């Protein structure tokens, strides 16, 4: 629904004439500028002509993409390394314990309270500022305030709307902060959020353990013992192969590794016969991408255009951020790859082996990085979804993918995948157990999300005095 509002000419601020800037939150509370409670310093870019280190060093560089507002931790050891001479040049931009990183370019408003228990020293990117709380404000409490919708909405209003959104330091200083309570109440609010994050982390761990157990269960039911991968040493990567053993036109060394030969033998030793994907499908086809410009796309249309970014970790298709093509693309250009309810979609370029099942009756087509798979009556869809998302298939596609700029496999290679196929009744039993575990994990993930959101609402109400 569109939103309309009116502002007097006298209310317009400087050169800001964009509507987003003048939206209001309609909240009557006493506020103070952020600069009253913090010191604000910028980060710094790596000097021109310099780059990250090729080796691991104790000097690190913290980028916006390393920040996660919903996490309390960063793996500092795995940040990008820089050389000592670059660190010395940028040493005044080092971020220290209890300073808050706030992203100000690209993705605006990421908040992270920095903690460093390692021996590394970390420089902050120019796309962030660091905030140091004054004595009357606990740093963790300040980070909680900055994550509230009250502050996040202000940041959205204040940033400059260019190709890469930017939030100027002068505008950060003027962000309005609610009245700061005493430290006892600050700590109470911190404790509420800490407990919510702990419960969230516990539930997510339980969910991950359930998901991790699926492959072991599947392999056990199929009677397959996967081979061990060799250590990544030079000796283990050197091997010989007879010319007669080379397959077709594949002369790249990775395809002929001993591990993949052992994998073939392991699959053959399983309880059930192996079938080529080609032999158990009725239909396999990949899509195409219409021209990036012209009359092929439209906003909020009827015909969905699916890409790999629409696939979720739960093996589903998410239509929230989908784009739309026009009717002639759906009915003519891509008519052969119209997606049907129950179709399994398989990534064949970029994120090879990424899987999702389409569970809608809405009209949709696919791009060139996706293949549609439709199976014969002796194949239970939910079972094949389990197989295709397992290491049984992932290791096969890892072998098949071509070492080029964008990893890919072609339709013929996709059709060659080996699938262990039990009788239909056993397929259903295996699929039911795996679906049960996935559903339980999904429920735990949702509970974790709801617990954190509930805590956020509670503390925001306390902070804003609602």
For residues 275 and 383, is the Cβ–Cβ distance under 8 A?
no
Asked if 442 and 390 sit in the same domain, the reply is: no
Asked if 38 and 175 sit in the same domain, the reply is: yes
Please give the Cα distance from 305 to 384 (Å, whole number).
24
For residues 388 and 439, is the Cβ–Cβ distance under 8 A?
no
Please give the Cα distance from 171 to 23 (Å, whole number).
16
For residues 200 and 451, is the Cβ–Cβ distance under 8 A?
yes
Q: Cα–chain-centroid distance for residue 398? A: 21
Asked if 176 and 188 sit in the same domain, the reply is: no
Asked if 293 and 154 sit in the same domain, the reply is: no
Answer whether residue 236 is part of any domain: no
Asked if 317 and 444 sit in the same domain, the reply is: no
For residues 79 and 65, is the Cβ–Cβ distance under 8 A?
no
Model confidence, pTM: 0.77
Last residue of a domain, one of 403, 421, 439: 421
Average pLDDT over the chain, rounded to an integer: 88
Asked if 121 and 49 sit in the same domain, the reply is: yes
Asked if 170 and 28 sit in the same domain, the reply is: yes
Asked if 410 and 432 sit in the same domain, the reply is: no
Number of domains composing the chain = 3
Q: How do residues 183-221 score in pLDDT, each as one tens digit? A: 999 999 999 999 999 999 999 999 999 999 999 999 999
In order along its 466 residues, the chain shows pLDDT tens digits of 334 444 554 445 454 445 554 454 445 688 999 999 999 999 999 999 999 999 999 999 999 999 987 777 899 999 999 999 999 999 999 999 999 999 999 899 999 999 999 999 999 999 999 999 998 999 999 999 999 999 999 998 887 766 678 899 999 999 999 999 999 999 999 999 999 999 999 999 999 999 999 999 999 999 999 998 766 555 555 556 665 555 555 556 567 678 888 999 999 999 999 999 999 999 999 999 887 666 899 988 999 999 999 999 889 999 998 999 999 999 999 999 999 999 999 999 988 999 999 999 999 999 999 999 999 999 999 999 999 999 999 999 988 887 666 788 999 999 999 999 999 999 999 999 999 999 999 999 999 999 999 999 999 999 987 5
Residue where the block lists tokens 């009253």: 36
Asked if 22 and 170 sit in the same domain, the reply is: yes
Asked if 52 and 134 sit in the same domain, the reply is: yes
Asked if 164 and 196 sit in the same domain, the reply is: no
Asked if 332 and 195 sit in the same domain, the reply is: no
Q: Looking at residue 399, which CATH number applies to its domain?
A: 3.90.220.20
**Domain ranges, residue 362:** 273-421
Answer whether residue 134 is part of any domain: yes
Answer whether residue 207 is part of any domain: yes
């Amino acid at each position: 629904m569109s939103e309309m509002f009116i502002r007097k000419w006298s209310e317009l601020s400087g050169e800001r004439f964009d509507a987003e800037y003048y939206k209001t939150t309609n909240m009557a509370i006493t506020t103070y500028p952020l600069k009253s409670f913090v010191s604000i310093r910028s980060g710094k870019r790596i000097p021109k002509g310099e780059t990250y280190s090729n080796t691991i060093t104790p000097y690190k560089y913290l980028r916006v993409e390393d920040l996660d507002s919903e996490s309390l931790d960063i793996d500092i050891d795995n940040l990008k390394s820089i050389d000592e001479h670059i660190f010395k040049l940028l040493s005044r931009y080092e971020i220290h314990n209890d300073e808050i990183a706030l992203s100000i370019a690209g993705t605006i408003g990421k908040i992270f309270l920095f903690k460093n228990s390692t021996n590394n020293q970390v420089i902050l990117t120019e796309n962030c500022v660091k905030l140091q709380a004054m004595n009357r404000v606990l740093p963790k409490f300040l980070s909680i305030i900055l994550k509230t919708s009250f502050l996040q909405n202000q940041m959205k209003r204040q940033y400059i709307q260019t190709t890469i959104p930017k939030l100027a330091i002068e505008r950060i200083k003027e962000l309005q902060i609610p009245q700061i309570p005493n430290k006892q109440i600050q700590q109470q609010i911190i404790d509420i959020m800490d407990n919510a994050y702990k419960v969230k982390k516990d539930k997510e761990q339980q969910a991950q353990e359930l998901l991790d157990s699926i492959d072991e269960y599947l392999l056990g039911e199929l009677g397959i013992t996967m081979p061990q991968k060799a250590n990544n040493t030079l000796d283990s990567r050197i091997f010989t192969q007879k010319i007669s053993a080379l397959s077709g036109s594949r002369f790249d060394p990775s395809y002929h590794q001993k591990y993949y030969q052992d994998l073939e033998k392991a699959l053959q030793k399983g309880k059930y016969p192996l079938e080529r994907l080609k032999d158990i499908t009725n239909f396999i086809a990949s899509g195409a991408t219409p021209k990036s410009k012209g009359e092929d796309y439209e906003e909020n249309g009827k015909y969905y255009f699916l890409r790999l970014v629409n696939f979720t970790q739960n093996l589903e298709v998410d239509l929230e951020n989908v784009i739309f093509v026009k009717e002639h693309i759906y009915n003519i250009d891509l008519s052969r790859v119209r997606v049907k309810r129950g179709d399994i979609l398989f990534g064949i370029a970029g994120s090879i082996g990424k899987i999702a099942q389409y569970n809608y009756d809405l009209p949709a087509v696919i791009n060139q990085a996706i293949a549609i798979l439709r199976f014969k009556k002796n194949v239970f869809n939910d079972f094949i979804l389990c197989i295709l998302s397992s290491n049984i298939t992932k290791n096969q596609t890892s072998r098949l993918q071509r070492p080029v700029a964008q990893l890919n496999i072609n339709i013929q290679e996709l059709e060659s995948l080996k699938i262990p196929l039990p009788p239909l009744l056993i397929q259903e039993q295996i699929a039911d157990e795996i679906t049960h575990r996935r559903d339980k994990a999904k429920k735990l993930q949702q509970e974790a999300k709801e617990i954190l959101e509930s805590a956020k609402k509670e503390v925001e109400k306390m902070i804003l005095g609602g």
